Every structure is written in structure tokens, then in C-alpha cells.
Structure 1
Amino acid sequence: MDPTPIDITDDNDATDHLISTAVSGENSVHDVTFQFQLQQAIQASLKPKTDEEEDFMVYFKGLVSHETVTNNIKMSFVGIGVAICDSTGSCLFESSKSGLLEADGDGGRGAEGDRVELEALVEALGVADARLRLKRVRIVTDCDSVYRYLTGERHSTNHKIAALVDKVNLIKSKFVYHALFHLKQSLIMFVYRLARNAIKSETAKWVGSNSDSDVTVTEQCRICFEYLETGQLFPVNKCQHRYCFSCIGKHIEAKLLDGKLPECPHEKCDSKIGIESCKKLLKPELYRSIMRSRVNEAFIPPTDKVYCPFSDCSALMSKTEVKVHTPTSSFITVGDTGM
């Protein structure tokens, strides 16, 4: 017999209904027990979680921008974006900060960006702990180096970065639960915008204008670590990781020459770079040459493929081509191609 439907709007009414059903013999004891357990499960799922049971998402982004301001003075600016959301995606806290980049004599290539990213995370976790009094947090980052610092896979020789990592770990220990997630940049673009807008606002103060049109924000290519204007960086279509055109062009060329469709060079990112994008980023003659090689390779059966043994060549040929261009010799045994 099918279980009798239950109105879950009132716990007591539902329980009374189940008991009366059992007494009247309309259902078996097994059916009544099942319905009672189902009722409890439904009510538990509908019960709102308390702050101590709910996981809150912590998003952060720290950017560095090198600008030329009034009288050709070069200055370095910092922008930080922070957002904290509940489990439904509703934003509980959002802020941005800006300022001048503090000189770091201990810095290496890429150290500035990592340091500002960690400073943004310290800011975000400080708000989650001291201001919002959260107990459970999920920390989200798109920065591979920061992710590796926090998981212990990588250790920095930069004393400021090491001190910031220790500070982050100290704050994390105050939460009942914390977890770290490495996501694509496209999924946290809102904190990117907060950081970028903070830099624009700060730069405007130094160029003597309140108009954003007079401000050019630069970003760092994560391959060569050069700072370039945003328009000089290529955004991978799906994930939006950004690299300078020179670096991404070399990456695409190497992958295509290897016979592979290039992926985003960001570690652990599997976004593909489409053929149309490849065509735009390579010189026309280079693109045609690579594509011609790929087409020729496709027409050679796998069992007939032979590669030139010279380390600086490795050109692909077919066994038929090799035999045609190999001079006959009495020293060559039957079946030997003479390569």
C-alpha cells in the first residue's frame, strides 16, 4: 500500500496523523515508521542553519598597478577587494581599499603580487573573524602561488610573504572550520572589479582628475611578471586568466607544434584556447605553416610515421618518403631504410 501523503506544515498534526493511521490499521507498521522518519528528515532540512553550522564564502583579490602620473612620476598602486557571502550567495560584506605599494627590498619577480594577495586575504579573514564573528569559512582564491603557500606545497624565501602566510594560518586557527578552494578567475571577477576600481580611484588623486578616463590600470603577466596595461593582456576566453600577448603567443606556438590544442597556461586550469584565438595570436605565415604540418601529419598512417633522428630537427616523414630518398647501397640490408 502506498504511504499516505503528509502535510508537513505542522509537526504535531503530522505525528498525530501517523499514530491514528497505525491504530486504525490503514498502514503497516513498516509504512508508518518509514513515513515518520521521512517527516523528521524533511523538517530537519527545512530548519534554517545557525551561524555556527553555516559555511560562509570568503573572496579576496589584491592587485598591483604601476602608473605614470603628473610630471612623468612613476608610482606603484595597490588595490584590494574583499567580499564575504553566505551559503545562498547573498553578500554579507563587501569592501575595497587602495594605497601606494610599500617597497620590498626582499622582493623577487612576482613577489609584489603574491604579497598584496596575502594582504587582501588577511583583511578578509580579519573581517570574517573580528567583525562578523563567523565560525565556518571557505576561502576562495584564483592565485596558484598563494594556494600553494597556504597548502604548504611551496615556501617563500621572502620574509614578508612568509610572515603573511603565518598570519593567515593564525587567523584560520580561530575558526571552527576552514577550507581552501582554488577556482578560475572568471568565478571571482566581482572582487577583481572591486580591486581595479580601488586602484582607479587612488590613481585619479595623483593625476589631478576625478575622471576614470584619465586612468590606465596595469596588471601583471603571470608568465614574464611584466606589468602591462589591461588592454595589452590576452584573456583566455572561458577562465579569463590574463597573459601578455608575447607570452601567450609563444605558449600557443609550442603547443600547436607539438600537435596539441593549447590550454590556458595557468596551473590546474584546463580551459582550451580555441583555434580562432590561436589564429589571431600567431603571425599568418606561422599559423599556415603549423596548420599545413598538422594536415600533412594527419594523412600519414600511424604505422608509417618516422621522425628525423637529429635532435635539432625531428621532422615527421613517412617510411615511403624515407625509402624514396635513401640511396641504395650494398651495405644496406633487406628491409633496412638506411635512415
Structure 2
Amino acid sequence: MKEEGTLVRAHDLKPSPSDMYMLYFKGLVSKAETAELLAGFAIAILDQDENLLFQMKGPLHGSDVITDLEAELMALKLGLTRAVSMGITHLSICCNHDEIFELVMGRSAPALLMDDVQRIRQQLTSTIPVLVTDQNHQASFVTKLAMEAIDSEITIRMSSMTCSICLNNNFKAEDILISSLLCGHRFCKECVKRYIEVKLLQGGVPRCPYYQCESTLTLSSCASLLITPRLQEMWEERIKEESIPMADRVYCPNTNCSSLMSKTELSKYTIQGWCCCVKCTIPFCINCKVPWHDNMSCNDYKRLMGTNLTTEDRKLNLLANRLMWRQCEKCKHMIERSEGCIHVTCRFHHHILNHFN
């Protein structure tokens, strides 16, 4: 973590070793979805008459700053270090964070960062933890400074941001969407919106569009894109589809439904192959994946349908033969190779080679 704050001497006063001084500190983590995970800090040291001696603000750099608590502890560590360097020996540590106050008081199991805090405290003659409210003027002051530090860092980062899809780098912060807090890749909202729609229509679950990045996009992280109810429903369906193993997937044969279910889910309601769709309740055969064939075995039904294809089935077979469509042996979906080599992957990532020779 690199200390990069601006130090301002408000009063050129030499601290007295016998006086009590007050340390106010604040660590914040940015929750904005338009920027990377950023953290900022601010500290203010005052004398017993509340004259401001020092104030400092700046970003907290480093992957170890990931929570508000850790940011607060780093701000406290910086404040104590500054107080020691100023020659202060008596200090009131003003906390407006209950958990930090408990840690400083020693009433809570210490975090790893607290080891550094306690070591620095030992260099002072006395330190007194004081719990203050957010309404406290000085606490509000350092919070405002910490927010300014984060805003400044966002402005700096924005000047070098480029959408990884359209390569545009001339946009406002509100036009940027960060795909995931884990990867930090940034894109134009419109680019991500179009990508999500295409990905869902192709039958996939949207992930970070960046090349070879596997970070997952979520509905909540894309809330600002105003995804339509239809796409939301499709997204939830794709997530459910991906969570069910291929061999366990069952689709309702009703053309007006096609709801996704799992064999495990249906097994408790299945009687000798007969079961009902959990959505439309129409009965079907779980073995043949077709509407229920009453008083007929599965083999008899397949023989009958093999010689008595419906008009729609005949048209589909003719079209498939003419356009050289092939059926994936595993997922049974029809696949078209419009161009490229014979190595084709279906929407469920099964590889198909020989069918297109």
C-alpha cells in the first residue's frame, strides 16, 4: 500500500508532549459500479481546543484493501504513524465505526491489520479510544475528505479507460459498466447490453466479454442496463439450464411451454415413465420426451412415429437434409455449419467433427 495523500499544515504549531490530541480517521471503499474497486482514506489531527494541526487524504492502493473495515484499519494505521512522527505522545482515537472501536478497546478478536495498529500505539505514552457518531463535525469532515480522495482517483482512472469492445475512450463515468469486481474489465453499457442479448439468444450464459475472461456477469451487476423482463426471464432460464447436468435435463414437449426441468426433480412425481410438466402440467413420457402415449410402450410409439411422421416433422427433415443440418448426438439439437472448418461446437459445448465431412 503506497501512501499518496496531500499533507496540509493548517496551523504551524509544535505539539506539546504533555497535551492530549485527537485523531479522526476514515477509510472508504467505493461501491460504484462504474469504476474499479477503489479505496480512499482521510486523517485529521486536532489539539485539545479542536484546532486542526494536520489533515491528509489519498487513495489506498493494493489488492488487500477490499472491505470498509480493512480500509478503516489502514486509515487508523496511517493516522497513528503520522501522530508518532509529529512527536505526539497522548492521543484520543476517535472512532465512528463500532467494530473498529471494539477492536481498539481490545474487546474483539484482533484482525491481522490490528497487529500493526497496536504496535504503533505502543510508541505513544497513552491512547484513549473514543466512540463518536457520524453527526460529529470532525468525523463528517474526514469522511468528506476520504470521499474526495476516491472521486479524485476515479477521475484519474477515467482519463485512461477504453471500452474493450468498441475501443471508444470518450465517454462519461455513467456510460461505463464494470463487468465484475473480480476482473475489473470495463465496457460501454450499450456494448454490454447488445452482447448480453446476443449471448442469451444463442443459448449461453453471459460472461465477461473480455477475451478468455471467465468472470460471470450477474443480473444485479447489470441492473443499470435496463434489461427487459423477457431477457431477465431468459437469463434466469439459462442459469438454471447451466446448473443442470446435460444428462439430467428434460424439456417439456409442449411447444407452447418447453419449460426446463431435471430428471432428479421429476423422479418423485414419475410413475412408470408418466409425469407432468411442473409449469404447464401437461403429461408426457419422461423416457421418450414426447406427450404421453397412453396404452402404448415406448418402443411401439417410436415404431409408429417412425412410419407416421407428422407434416411438420417431414418438412423439418427435408429442410435439414437440404441445408446439411446435423443433430448433436448428445443434446439432440440441430446444428448448421455456415462457414469455417468442420470442428463445430454445439451450444452445450459438445464437439462435433465427423458429421460435417
Q: Same fold (TM over 0.5)?
A: no
- Flag the structure with more relative contact order, 1 or 2, with Cα contacts below 8 A and sequence separation at least 6: 1
- Using structure 1 for the length normalisation, give the TM-score: 0.41
Higher helix share: 1
- Using structure 2 for the length normalisation, give the TM-score: 0.39
